[in-house]
Each structure stands twice: as structure tokens, then as C-alpha cells.
Amino acid sequence: MAVKVASRKTLDIEGIVQEIDQSDIMAIICFFSVDFEKDEPQRALKRAFPRAACIGASMIGGWSNAAALERGITVMSLSSNEVAEVITSFQTGAKADPARTARNAIEELKRKLGGRTVNPDEYLGLIFFDGLCLGEVIMQEFTLEKSLNLPFVGGAAADELSFTQTLVALDERLSGDGLAVMILKMKVPFFFSHYVHYLPTDTGFTVTRSETIKRVVWEINGQDAAAYYAKALGLSGVDKLNPGVYSKNPFGVRIGDSVYVRSPNAVIDGKGLQFYCYIEAGTRVFLLRQGDIIGNAKNALEEARNCIPGEIQGSLLFNCVLRYLELKELRKLDEFNRVFSGTNFIGFNTYGEELFTHHNQTLTAVFFGSPLKDGEPDPCKTRRLFHYADSKLKALVFEIISRSELLNVTIAYLNDSFGPVSDYMKQGTATFKKNTGDFLESFTHSQADIGSVDKGFNVIDKEFSESFLITESLQEEAKKASDNLSAINNVTEVTNILALNAAIEAARAGAAGKGFAVVASEIRKHAASTKNAVDGISGNMQVLIKSIRDLSEKMEKVKAEVEAAKRGIQNLVSANTQELSLIDSVNRDVASLETTFQEYEGIKSTLNTMIEQSNVSKDDIEKMLIVYDHNIESIEHFSENG
């Protein structure tokens, strides 16, 4: 019994069944062209192997031992020699509510696991979903579920670039709106990772406004995103942007030596950039440049060989459709396929690659080793556990940095917006008070109106004075929050270095459980520091929110008093025609203050949205830290106890 694979350009189910047939098949994985839907390949495979769990997805081109496929089907079978147990979940509704769909799958998997603690070096998750849904939301739910402490690797289903329907399958079920998950309890060593052949440049910038649900970035460094991107590439204008430009110049987030790619695909309304995966406001990204895609594939296989004892007997590849198109353009499809031909492998080109998070222009892969002899130690086990910890940590650091930078953007907005408004109001009200005083002193009639206006001005003066105190408090809290953000970014960088360097060096030195315990202790210490900084930001944000609400109430009261004063002045003007120059100056001051109120209303609307997002970000960061701490404890346990 072994890993067996088959592929066809047409749906030759009989031939495929003969090639992958073996004793006691536990799992079947298949990828197929979307136009095979009418032939129901998933039903045919399930009927042929009723005791096996069958999972699959539609593709745009596939990979196999025989050759790279432009259209067709490619299938793998795993026997009881490789797999001890299979647990599955199939859900629909991924387009309308990806988070709920993911949670439903998670709850089903947890029930089937029966509360057991899983070893991430023993349990492997395969995940496929509709390529037209927000897959990043699905992956976030799985990564932040602390009881599923295992890698989930896979891809988003694809079609022939029509972006109309993508399919996922589990057993006899097939859906164009689905999520299929398979957890394998493995008997053989396995290794997973993600591979990017694009390299960071020195051109970096911050996303300052985005619409995540639509995967649109509207502003970069405060400017229209499309124009900024075109200028950064040295293009004469937005009209020069096209699919070839996008694919060769994606964005990337750097975490240690890893790159997380975000690929643009269209200009929206002449200003925004749409992406294949959303980018949150505040994310710091770099332009990427094209690297060696074949060399990158060879490095992937070499890394796997260093982490699996003995021979690699099989592999699964999930390759981005943009990489596939690049390989076609370079005429290197067969060369890429040959890199992995020494193993029994299959794969497909995806609308998104999955490993802890949703990737673009990436290859994610799983490599299966051969069974160890009874009693034979696994010399690579600790190295793989460190690799899992490092990969999981990087994904969480990627999310934390994105969210902490969102808070940073909010705080910068506070300083940039409220500071000038506060200064402007101070100057404007000083002039206003002097001019209105001169104006009132010039009248000897209409004492009732004068008294009313004078009283209103006193209220305005009092409310403005209190408003200044609030804005000063806002700026002070913003500074405190900014300091806490600096602490977060410093800590995440230190944590990443620990995972990347100390952990890997300990593994190479054969420190096993004790080595991991030392590294885990350091990582946990820095994670605790991060949580303290997050808690500090939480307090800062609560003060900021209260201050904004208080300031809003003050501004509304001042606005009402200014309107009342304006009416009182109009009454005086109707009864007195002299001193027109003084009347004009007061009217100009009133108009100036009204402009300030309008500016504030715009600030308040934007700020409320940012504060709401920031609170969500803070909660996410806290959840990520809890999940990671739980993961570290589990890995430590398995490292020490085997």
C-alpha cells in the first residue's frame, strides 16, 4: 500500500479507478475542470470506493506525475498505511456568510474529534472552498480556533477565468457555494509550507483606506490608490495599469524571511485598486519584484526532504492561477511539473492558496513521507514541530501587525484632524468674542435682545473652553496609544526573530523538548508583553471614544448657541442700521465657525468608523495571543512526550 495517483484529460473514471485502487483506501483527493460538473466525478469516485472519504475542488489546470494538465482530472488515494482516521465536514453558504460557514464546519469537526487534544505533527487538515467567496474570513476562523491546533492547507476552487462558478466536493455532495474540510490522522511523517518567488523591493507604503468586504484599497499614504500605484511603478497614469502589470508587481507584507502576497487585479472607479484578497487599512506593504519560479519550486522540495526522514512518497500542490499564467507565459509548465515528478503528486491551480491565512501568488504544498519501521525514531520530528510553531506564529504576527497598524492610522488621524481644528477654534473664538463685545457695546437699544445674545456668547465661551480641554485630552491619549503601538511592533518583531532563529537553531542542534521549552518560554514572555500593550491600547481607545462623544455633545451645544446668537444679531440688525462694519465682522465670524462645524462633522463620521474598526482589531489581537499561547503549550507537550 502506498500513495497512488492518476490523471486524465477526459473523464475516464474506469481508468482512474484502476490506477489508484489499493487495499483499504482511507481518503481520495481529486481536482477537476469545472465543465466536468455534469459528469459528477465526485459521485463516481465515491461509488467506486464507498468506504473512503472523497474530497475535491474544481481547477484551472492541474499537476500530475504524467504531465501538467490544461484541462482534465487528477486524483490521489491514501491507504491505511498512511492514514489512521479521517474526519470531514461539508458546509454551504460560503458566499453569503463565510464566517458562519466556517464556524459551522469547526463545530462539526470538534464534535467528531470528541474533545481530544491533537498533535500538529500527527493531524493534517485539507481545506477547499468556493473561490468566489471571502476565503480569508474562513481561514481566520480556522486559525483562531484554539482547539484545532493543526495545519490547514489547501486552495480556493477555480474555473476557467470566467469567475462565474467554482465547485467543491465531499463524497457525493457538490456545491458552487461550499466549504469542504478533511482532517487526516497521519501514520507517516508529513511536511507543509508556503512558497513565494516574488522578492521585496525597498518601495514600501501604508494602506490608509480600504473596503475589506469588496477587497478594494481606496487610498495609499492618503492618496488615491490606483494613481499612487501607477506612479510607484513609473507609469504615466492609471490607464497604463493592466493584468500584466498587476501580476508582475504585487504587494507583499514581510514577516521575518516570509512574504505574504496581495495581488491587485483591477482599477475601481478610476481611483481604487481591487485585490484577490483583502488588505486592511493600516497594513504596511512593499512592492514585490519577480524572482525565479523554478528555483523556488526546487527549494520547496529540498526543504521538504530536510524535514522528512527517508523518501517522499507523495505530495499535494496548490498553486496560484497567476503563477500558472506566469509559467505559461515563460513556457515553463513542464519544467515546473518535472521538479516534483520524483514523487507521486497531484495539484491544481487555485483562486487563493491556504495555509493559516489566505495567500495570493503563492504555492502551498504538503509532502508525505514513508512509514517508519516499528520503534524507529523520527530524527526530524522536533524540526517539524518548530516549523509548525514558526509558521503559525508568522501568520498571527501578520494579522497582529495589520491590526495594530490600523490603530496607528486611527491615532494619526486623531492628531492630524483634531489638532488643527482645536487650534482653529481657539483663534476663531478669540476674534469672535472681541468682535461681538464691540458690537454689543455699540447699541443703546433693544436691551432684551442684547441680553439674550450676550448670554448666548457666554455659554459659547464656556463650552468652547471645555471643548479645548477635551481635545487636549484626546491628543494626550492618542500619544499614549501610539507608544503602546510601538511596543506591539517591537514585541512582534522580537517574537518573530525568536521563532525564526532560536527555534530553528535549537531544532538543528537536536535540543528536542528542552530546547523547545526554552524558546517557548521566551516567546510566551514576549507575547505577554504584547498583550499588556494591547490592554493599554484598549484603555486608551475607551478614553478616546468617551472624549469623542463628550466633544460631540459640546459641539452640538455650541452649534445651537451660535444659531441662537445669529438670530439675536439679525433682530438687532433689523432695529439698528448703524455700525454695519461691526455687524459684517460678526457675521463673518459666525460663518467661519459654521464652516468649522461642517469640518468637524466630516471628521466625526470618519473617526467613528475607524474607532469601531479599531475596537474589533483590539479584540482580534487578544484572541490571537490566547490562541498562540494555547498552541505553544500543546506543541511543548508533544515535543517533550513524543
Provide the pLDDT for residue 118: 86
Q: What is the pLDDT of residue 446?
A: 45
> DSSP readout, 401-459?
HHHHHHHHHHHHHHHHHHHHHHHHHHHHHHHHHHHHHHHHHT--S-HHHHHHHHHHHHH
Residue among 264, 258, 143 nearest 207 (CA) = 264
**Cβ neighbours of residue 560 under 8 Å, at least 6 residues apart?**
none
Residue pLDDT, tens place only, 74-90? 999 999 999 999 999 99
What radius of gyration do the chain's Cα atoms show? 30
φ and ψ at residue 314, rounded to 5 degrees: -170, 160
Q: Is the pLDDT of residue 560 over 90?
A: no
The residue-averaged pLDDT of 292-303 equals 95
| pLDDT of the residue at 461 | 54
User: Residue 182 above 90 pLDDT?
Assistant: yes
Residue recorded with cell 478669540: 430
pLDDT band at residue 642 under the 50/70/90 scheme? low
Unique residue bearing C-alpha cell 466549504: 179
Which has more pLDDT, 333 or 420? Answer: 333
Report, as an integer, the average pLDDT of 49-67. 96
- Which one is predicted more confidently, 463 or 446? 463
Range with the poorest average pLDDT among 29-38, 410-419, 529-538, 541-550: 410-419
> Does the pLDDT at position 281 exceed 60?
yes
If you average pLDDT over residues 38-56, what whole number do you get?
94
Give the whole-number percent of the chain exceeding pLDDT 70: 61
Position with higher pLDDT, 81 vs 620:
81
Q: What is the dihedral of CA 347, 353, 355, 361, to 10 degrees?
A: 110
pLDDT at 128 over 70: yes
Residue 131 has φ and ψ, to the nearest 5°, of: -75, -5
Residue 163, pLDDT score: 93
**pLDDT over threshold 90, residue 447:** no
The alpha carbon of residue 559 and the mean position of all alpha carbons in its chain are separated, in whole angstroms, by 41
> How many residues make up the chain in this entry?
642
Q: List Cβ<8 Å contacts ≥24 apart for 335-342.
A: 335/294, 336/63, 336/68, 336/293, 336/294, 336/297, 337/63, 337/64, 337/67, 337/68, 339/294, 339/297, 339/298, 339/301, 340/63, 340/297, 340/301, 340/315, 341/65, 342/312
pLDDT for position 511: 47
Q: Per-residue pLDDT averaged across 338-349, rounded?
A: 94
Here the cell at position 593 is: 465657525
User: Cα separation of 16 and 262, whole Å?
Assistant: 37
The confidence score (pLDDT) of residue 119 equals 85
Q: What is the pLDDT of residue 68?
A: 95
What does the pLDDT read at residue 439? 47
Q: What is the mean pLDDT of residues 408-419?
A: 52
Which H or E element spans position 261? Answer: strand 258-262
The pTM of the full predicted model, rounded to 2 decimals, is 0.76
Displacement of CA 167 from its chain's centroid (Å):
23
Mean pLDDT (whole number) for 303-327? 94
Confidence class for position 632, pLDDT limits 50, 70, 90? low
pLDDT surpasses 70 at 156: yes
Q: Examine the pLDDT at 61 and tell me if it is beyond 60.
A: yes
| Span 111-122, pLDDT tens digits | 999 988 888 889
Per-residue pLDDT at 400: 63
pLDDT tens column, 217-251? 999 988 999 999 999 999 999 999 999 999 999 99
**Predicted pLDDT at 258:** 80
Torsion of the alpha carbons at 584, 588, 589 and 594, rounded to the nearest 10:
140
Per-residue pLDDT band at 566 (split at 50, 70, 90): low
Q: Which of 409-413, 565-569, 595-599, 601-605 has the highest mean pLDDT?
A: 565-569
Residue keyed to cell 506591539: 488
CA 538, 544, 546, 552: dihedral to nearest 10 degrees?
-150
The least confident of 249-253, 276-280, 372-376, 506-510 is 506-510
Of 119-128, 291-300, 430-439, give the lowest mean pLDDT range.
430-439
Residue 618 has pLDDT above 50, yes or no: yes
C-alpha cell read off for 519: 524558546
d(CA 453, CA 447): 10
CA 524, 525, 527, 532 torsion-angle sign: positive
Of 8-22, 230-244, 428-442, 469-483, which range is least confident?
Answer: 428-442
Between 506 and 157, residue with greater pLDDT: 157
pLDDT for 555? 60
pLDDT of residue 442: 47
Task: State the sign of the Cα–Cα–Cα–Cα dihedral 253, 257, 258, 262.
Answer: positive
Residue 453: pLDDT above 80?
A: no
Task: Pick the closest to residue 249 from 139, 326, 345, 172 (CA basis).
Answer: 326
**Hey, what amino acid is at 173?**
R
- Rama region for 541: left / alpha / beta (φ>0; ψ in -120 to 50; rest): alpha
Q: How many CB atoms lie within 10 A of CB 578?
A: 9
Q: What pLDDT is attached to residue 626?
A: 62
**Tens-place pLDDT, residues 139-148:** 988 988 878 8
Mean pLDDT, the chain, integer: 78
How high is the pLDDT of residue 354?
A: 96
Backbone angles phi, psi at 615, to 5 degrees: -65, -40
Residue keyed to cell 508583553: 529
More confident residue, 477 or 342: 342
Sequence-distant (≥ 6) Cβ neighbours of residue 479 within 8 angstroms: none
C-alpha cell at position 300: 520547496
Cα–Cα distance measured from residue 602 to residue 17, given in angstroms and rounded to the nearest whole number:
64
For the residues 438-457, what does the mean pLDDT come to? 49
Q: What is the pLDDT of residues 569-597, one digit of tens each?
A: 556 555 554 445 555 555 555 555 555 55
Give, in order, the Cα–Cα distances in Å from 479 to each of 411, 415, 473. 8, 9, 10
Q: What is the pLDDT of residue 380?
A: 82
Question: What's the rounded mean pLDDT across residues 54-78?
Answer: 96
Longest dimension (CA), the chain: 109
Q: Which pLDDT score, from 0 to 100, does residue 478 have?
A: 55
Rounded average pLDDT over 365-378: 88
The reported pLDDT for the residue numbered 331 is 96
Structure confidence at residue 619 as a pLDDT band (50, 70, 90): low
pLDDT of 486 strictly over 80: no
